[in-house]
Structure formats: structure tokens, C-alpha cells
Amino acid sequence: MKRALAALLCCVGLAQADGVRPSREFLSPELRAQQDDPSRHPGWLWVDDGEALWRAGERSCQSCHGDIAGMAGVAARYPAVAADGALLNLELRIERCREEHQGAPRFGYEGQALLSLTAAIAQRSRGLPMSVPVDGAAAPFLERGREFYATRQGQLNLSCGQCHDENAGRRLRGDVISNGLGTGYPAYRLEWNTLGSLHRRLRACSLGVRAEQLPLGGADYLALELFLAHRARGLPVETPGLRR
């Protein structure tokens, strides 16, 4: 299988990374410039929509939380364990508020409303260093995520790390393989022609190795998200990211 991977990978590209580097460093100069420029970055349309949703309605998010500026730093410490012991990423934390505090039905994973609110909240942490707590109640979830990351999967029998550690900086089907961090999500991906969640991206990687695509918001991808957030500790939030 090592040979199969070698055949997939082209021999040119950046030098192999030593240590985990921010996702933006793996972008082409053009994409990086576009990610940095809101006027040329369609992801900001979702941020604007999310900010409008934040203020909308009688029992608005704002009515409890105040101005969305107060959400600065929140995304840098998610996923997090809630009082009832469940691991929640930002999307699921918002869904909880929707049900428990707004008394309204969930928005639905990957729907425009949830993507917009998630992007608007996470954008408030743009540039801030990731720092998810991984001790106490979070520890078992971290271990589950770490194990998932290290497990060979799919018909190609590859672990996440075989691409995102051992081959970071090399090219695969037109992409430069990054360290596989979640710091840019939700991100606008040109191939999707829309904004998408981290779990949608994870499903694409599962498909890439011909493994089962797991449910959005499900326990495996959540644990993986926590592990990826921990891998990214100290690195900046990039949401909304811009991807090929």
C-alpha cells in the first residue's frame, strides 16, 4: 500500500513539514491572498448572514448573549464538553441553544443557517490561537480522536497521518497536502462552490481512502475534531477559510 500511495503522490512540492503548520501556509499565494481579502472571499457572505441571524427574532441569540463581538475567543476552545458530559462542537452548541434556549427546531447540520451562524461566531476568533481543554472530561474524547487519526482506513488502508504528517507539503491530485487541521472551517471551497463544515471535509477524506463516510456531527468525527483542534494548539483560527 505504501507503493499505492507513492503512485498517488507527485514528487514535487514543498519540503516535508517538521511539526504542524497553519493551513494557510499550504495554500497557493493566490488563494492565501484571497483568504485574507474579504472583498474577494465569498465566505464572508455567510458571515454577514450569520450576523443578521444572530440578531433576528424575538428570542434572538443576541437577546441572551449580547453583541456577537462577545463571542471572540469561543471557537478557539471548541469542541468542548458540556455540563451533561456530551462533546459539542460549535455547530452542536448552537443547535443546543436553538432547542433548549430558543425552543425552536434544530437548524440542521450543513444547512445554510447553521453554517452561517457557525462561520460568524468562529470568525470572531480569527487570528486567535487554538487552545482546547483536553484534560478531565475531555480526555477520553481526545484519546478516541487520536486513535481514529492513527488507524488505517478504507480500501487504500491509510491513516490520516500517513497523508497529513508523513506527506504534508506534497501534491495529491492537484492539492498540496496540509497538516489536516480544522482551523479554517467552516470554509468556502471552490470545488463545492459553497461554504462547508469541517465534517463535510472529513467525509471527503474518508471517501478519498474509500472508507465509510461517517455522519455529520457524529461521535467519531467529533472526537477527531477535538484531536485536530489539540494538534492545532497555538495556531490561529482562519475561519472563514478559502480552499481549492
Q: Does 197 bind ligand HEC (CB under 6 A)?
A: no
Residues 129-158 that bind ligand HEC (CB under 6 A): 149, 158
10 noted as active-site residue: no
The b-or-e profile of 53-87 (16+ CB within 10 A means b, else e) is bbeeeeeebbeeeeebeebeebbbebbbbeeeebb
Three-state DSSP at 84 gives coil
Q: Give residues 47-106 in contact with ligand HEC (rule: CB under 6 A).
A: 59, 61, 63-65, 74, 93-94, 97-98, 101-102
Q: How far apart are CA 37 and CA 173, in angstroms?
A: 26
For residues 44 and 197, which CB has a smaller minimum distance to ligand HEC in the complex?
197
Decide: is 208 part of the binding site for ligand HEC (CB under 6 A): yes
**Quick one: which of 130, 134, 202, 235 contacts ligand HEC (CB under 6 A)?**
202
Nearer of residues 121 and 134 to ligand HEC, judged by Cβ: 121
The reply on whether position 175 binds ligand HEC by CB under 6 A is: yes
Helices (H), 25-138: 29-36, 43-55, 61-65, 90-96, 112-123
Residue labelled with grid coordinates 492565501 = 32
Cell triple for residue 167?
506527506
Identity of the residue, 5 or 45, whose beta carbon is nearer to ligand HEC in the bound complex: 5
